[in-house]
Amino acid sequence: MTTDIVDVNAALTESLTELHLPTVRRTYEEAARLAERETLSYERYLLDLVTRESQDRQQKRIQRLLRQSRIPAEKALANFNLKRLPPKVAILTKSLIEGEVLDRRENVLAFGNPGSGKTHLLCAIGQELIARGRRMYFTTSALLVQDLLVAKRDLKLSRFLKKLAHFEGLIIDDLGYVQQSREEMEVLFTLLAERYERGSVFISSNLPFSKWEGIFKDPMTTAAAIDRLVHHCVILELNIPSYRVEQAKKAKEES
């Protein structure tokens, strides 16, 4: 009888391997002992195994999405002091992490002085969306522009834009922080135009709209870029003191 059990276990393990059910393969014996102790029905035992497999796959998918997103792991919501935010922004943040902003293909624009937490907030929202199974991608504006230029030079711009279109939300950090050439801004405008009403863009910037002509170099391109971004958007105004300055002052007072 023991030999029969061993044969059954071996056959079951082999079948579960072929079916790509690693969690069921790893835990079915433990779950069976639990089912015996608690006199669970066969259906309840099977449900327990399927639930374990589903949860494990979901967790692995989220981990994969986090790696693909390139969002800095430390910029999570748990590490962000929501009490520093203006009440309206705090309310909007709670709404944004639900994910409807991606369903509506709306944009999120975060404005504020350096150190106000724009980048951290957008990254934290991005991580919360990924936890709900959404596809996000993080990049700085400077790096994005260089990637776009390389793709254009290699006649692969269309392919690169298609790759970015795979992500429901694209986080572009520090727009306008570094002054860029007209050619660089042209490829960035191409991206914004391509994503218009097709995918969400999350942008952080130290510059208000009134100074965006310095980014896009001419009034018509500036107006067209702003028009596409604000047509469907949520604006987060972080008119708060620099977190880094506050921490420096606190450290100095304590020393």
CB 161 within 8 A of CB 194: yes
User: What's the Cα-to-Cα distance from 252 to each of 116, 245, 246, rounded to whole Å?
Assistant: 20, 11, 10
Which H, E and C letters describe the chain, residue by residue?
CHHHHHHHHHHHHHHHHHCCCHHHHHHHHHHHHHHHHCCCCHHHHHHHHHHHHHHHHHHHHHHHHHHHHCCCCCCCHHHCCHHHCCHHHHHHHHHHCCCHHHHCCCEEEEEECCCCCHHHHHHHHHHHHHHCCCCEEEEEHHHHHHHHHHHHHCCCHHHHHHHHHCCCEEEEECCCCCCCCHHHHHHHHHHHHHHCCCCEEEEEECCCHHHCHHHHCCHHHHHHHHHHHHCCEEEEEECCCCHHHHHHHHHHHHC
CB 138 within 8 A of CB 108: no
pLDDT classification of 17: cutoffs 50, 70, 90: confident
Domain ranges within the chain, ordered by starting residue: 2-68, 70-249
CB 85 within 8 A of CB 240: yes
Q: Does domain 70-249 have CATH number 3.40.250.10?
A: no
Sheet (strand 233-238) strand order: 136-140, 169-173, 200-205, 107-112, 233-238
User: What pLDDT, on the 0 to 100 scale, is given for residue 1?
Assistant: 44
User: What's the Cα-to-Cα distance from 161 to each of 179, 190, 191, 199, rounded to whole Å?
Assistant: 23, 9, 7, 11
Q: Residue 78 — left, alpha, or beta (φ > 0 → left; ψ -120 to 50 → alpha)?
A: alpha
pLDDT at 169 over 60: yes
Distance of CA 10 to the CA centre of its chain: 41
User: What pLDDT, on the 0 to 100 scale, is given for residue 224?
Assistant: 92
The b-or-e profile of 147-174 (16+ CB within 10 A means b, else e) is: bbbebbeeeebeebbeebeebbbbbbbb
Give CA–CA dist 19/13, Å, rounded: 10
111 vs 241: which has the higher pLDDT: 111
pLDDT, tens digit, 9 for 90 and up, residues 39-55 = 888 888 888 888 888 88
pTM > 0.85: no
pLDDT at 252 over 80: no
pLDDT, tens digit, 9 for 90 and up, residues 192-228 = 999 999 999 999 999 888 888 888 888 898 899 999 9
216 vs 172: which has the higher pLDDT: 172
pLDDT at 182 over 90: no
pLDDT over 70, % of the chain: 90
